[in-house]
């Protein structure tokens, strides 16, 4: 029994509900939510260390032993993601606290952000497929509110699409769960894995797995990403950064979990489909990233390219490529948060959304400009920044698996990432300054600080690869050996 496992989910809920009572006091809202997430971050770090020491931890809710009750299972993969997302949330909340969007703060911005995090952390930690659905719903309901909070016309039109598409995919998810329960009679993920291994994944189960693939692809933005650029574009900066950093990653997490733990017996079907989808995603994302002049569109398509890239690792399906994916996932959570904060800040400072309308920002805001350069180098996978290790390992793993086309597409897409962002940098930051010193908007230190901390984290993650690599290796070890997870999640001692 490890009650500590529930804290990353429950603390944000409690704090969110308590903050409802302090509606008129924005200070309590801002700093209360940041404090909560700092505590959650420290707790997740502690759990991560404990997982490294003692192996997989488990908590049975209400002391109902698995497979009958709901369990939370913490392995290194889940805890790495919980820790990283809590860290990014702290910095996004810090940004929001200094952006001081009082209209939204009055309408419960922070409680809903905290509920979103509760859903995200719950989805990472749960060991039960139906509970995963519930955590998805908690996250999605909060995201529906955040999507439409503020009630701008653009938000409402994009919000309707976002809500409809997600309700549809939730319905598919529920359908898939029903099919799975009908065929296997259990929903505990470890137990499911055991039973699927016993029957050897017949075609019926493979078909069900493809239903799950569709559902999670919709959430992750794998091929089915048509909803993503529009909806991310409509959001205020801090919220869009959090969405870009976390929401698609939960879908990616679910894909990894289900296709390494549950449906891993027919890789020639499922993993080939995932590989093709990853390539289509990267190609489509690359075209999108260079097709627009609107910086928000460009960065939204960058999210999509990264999703394709991470899933190359899953499609190659060996230890090395999965290690690379985990590395890249952690990197991407940090750096996509950073990228969206940067782009949102540019729009806040200049009031322009197209990159050909502004130039020379680096003379107005030198530090800010250099942070943007670090962001784009990191995203492009240039050493010593954090993107490099992940790209290298994914590429190596895919070569080992003999997926040469996939490797080519993946690295070409990296060039497109670099090109699309360099275009923003050269046009907006380089060149003659278009804003006079006396007209420039003051960039508050708090907003700059959260960008700076994230930039330092991406440098630190790149340089400190040896610190992170044991965690990543352990996470990949559990993902590639389902028996370890089953042992940890089902044993009754």
Partner 1 sequence: MRENDIILQTVSKVAVFIILTFGVYLFLSGHHNPGGGFIGGLTLSSAFVLLYIAFDVESVNAGIPLNYKMVAAVGVLIAICTGMGSLLFGSAFLSQSSAYFNLPVFGKTGFATVTLFESGVALGVVGVVITIMVSISEDV
Residues 6+ apart with CB under 8 A from 96: 30, 109, 110, 113, 238, 239
The CB density around residue 106, as the number of other CB atoms within 10 Å, is: 12
Distances (CA, A) of 403 to 268, 313, 409: 13, 10, 10
Which window, 9-17, 26-34, 189-197, 404-412, contacts partner 1 (CB under 8 A)? 9-17
Question: Between residue 280 and residue 339, which ones bind partner 1 under the rule CB under 8 A?
Answer: none
According to the binding rule CB under 8 A, does residue 171 interact with partner 1? no
According to the binding rule CB under 8 A, does residue 17 interact with partner 1? yes
> Which lies closer to partner 1 via its Cβ, residue 20 or residue 467?
20
> Which lies closer to partner 1 via its Cβ, residue 14 or residue 441?
14
> Which lies closer to partner 1 via its Cβ, residue 37 or residue 361?
37
**Local structure of 337: helix, strand or coil:** helix
Residues 6+ apart with CB under 8 A from 145: 108, 112
Which window, 7-15, 196-204, 218-226, 236-244, contacts partner 1 (CB under 8 A)? 7-15
**Local structure of 269: helix, strand or coil:** coil
Phi, psi of 223 (to 5 degrees): 60, -50
Per-residue string for binding with partner 1, 20-39, x by CB under 8 A? xx------------------
Per-residue string for binding with partner 1, 45-74, x by CB under 8 A? --------------xxxxx-----------
Give the integer Cα–Cα distance in Å for 117 and 128: 19
Phi, psi of 269 (to 5 degrees): -95, -65
Residues 318 and 330: beta-carbon distance below 8 Å: no
Prior bond of 435 cis (ω within 30°): no
Which window, 18-26, 155-163, 317-325, 367-375, contacts partner 1 (CB under 8 A)? 18-26
> Which lies closer to partner 1 via its Cβ, residue 100 or residue 106?
106
> Considering the complex, what minimum distance in angstroms separates the CB of residue 493 from partner 1?
15
The H or E element spanning position 73 is strand 71-74
> Which lies closer to partner 1 via its Cβ, residue 17 or residue 467?
17
> Which lies closer to partner 1 via its Cβ, residue 6 or residue 449?
6
The CB density around residue 426, as the number of other CB atoms within 10 Å, is: 12
Counting residues that bind partner 1 (by CB under 8 A) gives: 15
Kindly report the CA angle at 230 between 228 and 236, in degrees rounded to 5?
100
Phi, psi of 189 (to 5 degrees): -65, -40
> Which lies closer to partner 1 via its Cβ, residue 14 or residue 287?
14
> Which lies closer to partner 1 via its Cβ, residue 63 or residue 493?
63
Which window, 10-18, 158-166, 256-264, 372-380, contacts partner 1 (CB under 8 A)? 10-18
> Considering the complex, what minimum distance in angstroms separates the CB of residue 17 from partner 1?
5
What residue has token string 């908690």?
138
Binding site for partner 1 (CB under 8 A): 1, 3, 6, 10, 13-14, 17-18, 20-21, 59-63
């Amino acid at each position: 029994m490890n009650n500590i496992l529930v804290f990353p989910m429950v603390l944000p809920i409690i704090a969110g509900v308590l903050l409802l009572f302090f509606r008129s006091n924005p200070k309590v809202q801002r700093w209360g939510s940041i404090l909560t997430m700092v505590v959650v971050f420290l707790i997740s770090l502690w759990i991560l260390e404990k997982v490294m020491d003692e192996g997989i931890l488990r908590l049975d809710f209400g002391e109902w032993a698995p497979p009958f009750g709901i369990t939370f299972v913490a392995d290194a993969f889940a805890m790495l993601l919980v820790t990283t997302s809590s860290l990014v949330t702290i910095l996004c909340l810090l940004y929001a606290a200094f952006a001081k969007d009082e209209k939204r703060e009055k309408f419960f911005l922070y409680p809903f952000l905290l509920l979103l995090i509760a859903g995200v952390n719950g989805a990472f930690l749960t060991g039960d497929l139906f509970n995963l659905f519930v955590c998805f719903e908690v996250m999605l309901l909060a995201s529906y509110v955040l999507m439409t909070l503020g009630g701008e016309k653009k938000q409402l039109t994009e919000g309707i699409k976002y809500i409809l598409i997600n309700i549809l995919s939730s319905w598919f998810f529920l359908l898939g769960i029903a099919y799975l329960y009908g065929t296997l009679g259990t929903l505990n993920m470890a137990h499911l894995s055991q039973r699927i291994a016993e029957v050897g994944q017949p075609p019926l189960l493979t078909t069900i797995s493809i239903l799950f693939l569709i559902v999670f692809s919709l959430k992750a933005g794998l091929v089915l990403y048509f909803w993503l650029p529009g909806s991310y574009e409509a959001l205020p900066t801090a919220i869009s950064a959090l969405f870009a950093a976390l929401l698609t990653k939960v879908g990616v997490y679910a894909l990894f979990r289900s296709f390494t733990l549950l449906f891993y017996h027919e890789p020639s079907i499922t993993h080939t489909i995932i590989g093709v989808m990853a390539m289509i995603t990267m190609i489509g994302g690359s075209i999108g990233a260079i097709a627009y002049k609107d910086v928000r569109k460009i960065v939204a398509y960058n999210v999509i390219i990264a999703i394709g890239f991470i899933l190359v690792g899953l499609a190659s399906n060996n230890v090395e490529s999965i290690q690379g994916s985990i590395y890249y996932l952690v990197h991407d959570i940090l750096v996509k948060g950073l990228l969206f904060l940067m782009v949102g800040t540019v729009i806040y400072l200049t009031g322009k959304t197209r990159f050909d309308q502004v130039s020379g920002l680096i003379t107005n805001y030198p530090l800010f400009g250099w942070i943007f350069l670090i962001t784009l180098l990191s995203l492009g996978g240039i050493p010593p920044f954090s993107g490099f290790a992940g790209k290298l390992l994914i590429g190596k793993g895919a070569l080992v698996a003999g997926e040469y086309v996939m490797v080519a597409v993946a690295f070409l897409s990296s060039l497109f990432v670099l090109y699309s962002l360099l275009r923003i940098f050269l046009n907006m930051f380089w060149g003659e300054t278009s804003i006079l010193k006396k007209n420039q908007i003051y960039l508050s230190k708090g907003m700059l600080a959260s960008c700076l901390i994230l930039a330092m984290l991406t440098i630190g993650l790149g340089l400190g690869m040896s610190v992170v690599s044991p965690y990543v290796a352990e996470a990949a070890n559990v993902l590639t050996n389902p028996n370890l997870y089953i042992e940890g999640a089902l044993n009754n001692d």
